[in-house]
Every structure is written in structure tokens, then in C-alpha cells.
Amino acid sequence: MTLPEMKYPLSRDQLLDLYYFMKLTRELDEQLVRLFRQNKVVGGLYSSIGQEASAVGTAYTLEKRDWIAPMIRNVGGLLVKGFRPRDILMQYMARSGAPTGGKDGTSHFGDLQDRHVVSPISMLGDLIPVMTGVAMGGRYLGQKIVTMTWIGDGGTSTGAFHEGMNLAAAQHAPFVCVVENNQWAYSTPVARQVPLKNLADRARAYGIPGYVVDGNDVIAVYQATKEAVELARRGEGPVLVESKTMRMKGHAQHDPAGYVPPEMFEYWKARDPLALYEKWLTENKVWDKKAKDEIEARIERELKEDIEIAEASPLPNAEEAERGVYCEGCHTIEAHWERPIAEVQPPKASVQPVWTVPDFGALNNARGSAPAAAASAPDDGARAEAHSNSSAKSAPAGSGAPKRPARAEARPKGRR
């Protein structure tokens, strides 16, 4: 095995792990489609086909202590975090064995105790401030965690997204936001709703790094996101990662996606993340046919077992409808301190309510030169390009994005 140089090297087992989770996500997705057509899926079904590398590659960068909040196309992240296919199958089939006991027919479930998964919020963008809060809370308790959530290209146009990212930036929260640019916000293409080619450029408005990565290249996704996670864990604040990929089905199963030009599907079909990664594993001698067959046999065996368990699970009893609406002693909420509480209480935590303002906020320089404050400002949003070849070039290119030139002329009088 001879691998290209990587900033964050992966072992053979880890490389095969990535394939296992991606392939499992794809097979589970296709199984859910079959169940949907048999009227065994209750409610909507949202496909993640074509986006497996994005969800798996980002979630795989995290540690067990870290927190995620997945969205509808992040089944791969749930699998990486330890949920089994049976959990997702029973959830979509509204069976009593589902994580929510059959009370929700989609992916709205989590696990706050063991897996550190916050349930999705249907109002797009609202998970950004929530996960910012989780990150801030973890830091306060001394847990040294990183939080992560995903948002689609359309969701970045919501007010909650901007408010949450601004809060995260102002508070230097250890938070990574992954923008899955899958080209379509339901039936609206990105170009019709955002005047930017790269959504990661929005990071500049918050004064934080923004990375752009090929979302169909799982190695590139992992490398870029791993750097983002490490930056956040070191206390350098939040990072915005844009994963460019493609939603290969409609918004949900009821949507035939007739608004997508056929040639666009053909372009992205040729860049299928599983096919790309299989080729990479073969070219770099990570596996042979035997290893590939073993992984696929394992997936087939596990899915068969989990489908049988899911279908055998009964529908919930009618009495369950009135239970769990409100928490009545169902769990206790208490802080999990990993630092001495005295560190965040007076007198150790006393702070004088007087703030130092560099250059007093004034524009001191003469017209035609850059303001003094701008010269010492932190990087206004480094962007890394991770290309389709999974080599050393896949990793973020660094944090040295050039500064934008200062305006040389004042705004002419009479113009607003």
C-alpha cells in the first residue's frame, strides 16, 4: 500500500471503514426506497444517494465525545456515530422499536446520553445556533468537545443561519458547520438564490475560515474537515466547510426532479462518490477483490438481519400516543463538569467590565491607505480548495487567503 501524502494520515482499517460506511449508507437508502414502494415507510423519504462521501467523510473526523446534529441527508453521519440500520429502518417505518418508539416517521431522533446526537430541527438553519450553544456549553464545562451540523445550500439563506454563525464567530465557539451544496434547494438552483459561486465565501463576513472541498471525494472531505475540527478544538473558533456535491434524486420520493437538466445528472453520475473511492482504493493498493467482497458480504448480512428485526417490530400501541408528550421524570438534566467549578466562579472568574478597543475604533489613516485596524485584523476567511484527486492536494491549502484591497477613494458626494 503506497498512499499519497496526507496531512492527516489514515490507516488501512480507517480507509476501509470509510468505504464500509459509504456503501452501507447507499444500500440502506436503496432498501428504504423498496420499503417505501411497498407502503411500509410512513411519511416522506429523503434520499442521500450521491452525498455519502460528504456525510461520512465529515462525521468520521469527530471523536466519540463530540456532538453532531444531522439533517435529512446525513444518514451516513448517524451510522458513523453508532446507530444501526435497524434504528433508521424502524424509524422510517414508525415501529415501536424505533428510537422514538414509532412517534415520528422520518429522521427526527437523537441520543443525548451516549452518542451525543441532537435531533434534527425541520426549520432550516435553526440547528446552527443550537449547536453553537452546545459548543459553548461544552467549553464552559471543560469538556473540550467540537460540535458539527450540516446545512443545505438553501438553508444558508435563512436568518437563523446567519445569526447562529455570527454568534459562533463572536464567541469563538468550537463548532464546524458543513454546507452541503448539492446544487438544489428543492427545485431552486443555487445560482437563482445566491450571488456567489462558493458559499464558503460567506465565512468572510464572520471573520472565520471557510473551506471549499469536493464533496464526492471522501478523502478530500475528510482532510479538509479534519483540519477544521482541529482548529475548532484548539480554541481558534468556528469553521465553515462547503462540500460541493449533488442531490441525485428529487427533494423526496414524491419529487421526480423534472426540473433538473438530464445532462446535469449525467455529469454528476460520472462522479459517483462510491465509484471514485473504489477506484482510489484499487489504484493505491489498499484492497483487493477479496477485501471488497468481504465488506459487501458483511453489509448484505447486516442489512438482512436488521430488515428482519425492523419488519418484526410491531406498530406502537395506541396508548403510547399520550405518553412522552411532556417529560415527567423521564430523565434528569445535569451538567457534566470536566473542570473545577471554581474556575468559572468568582474570584477566579471575575472580569472587570472594561473592554480594550484597539485604535479606539477610529479611522486614523489618511484617505487612500488601508485603515490601521484592517492591517492587524485576523484572516478574514481563508479558503481551501480540495480537488477531485485524493492526494496531498486534497487537504486545505492553508489559511493565507489574500486580503481584499482597501477602497482608495471615498464615496462621491450625492451618491448613496
The residue annotated as part of the active site, out of 204, 247, 277, 383, is 247
The residue annotated as part of the active site, out of 140, 186, 259, 267, is 259
Take residue 73 and report the three cell numbers written for it.
441527508
Identify the CA nearest to 121 among candidates 137, 108, 136: 108
State the Cα–Cα distance between residues 231 and 146, nearest whole angstrom.
10
Q: What's at 37, amino acid-wise?
A: R
State the Cα–Cα distance between residues 28 and 154, nearest whole angstrom.
26
Take residue 130 and report the three cell numbers written for it.
443550537
Active site residue 367: no
Take residue 131 and report the three cell numbers written for it.
449547536
Active site residue 259: yes
8 Å CB contact between 148 and 131: yes
Preceding omega of 256 cis (within 30 degrees of 0): no
Take residue 303 and report the three cell numbers written for it.
442489512
Catalytic (active-site) positions: 247, 251, 259
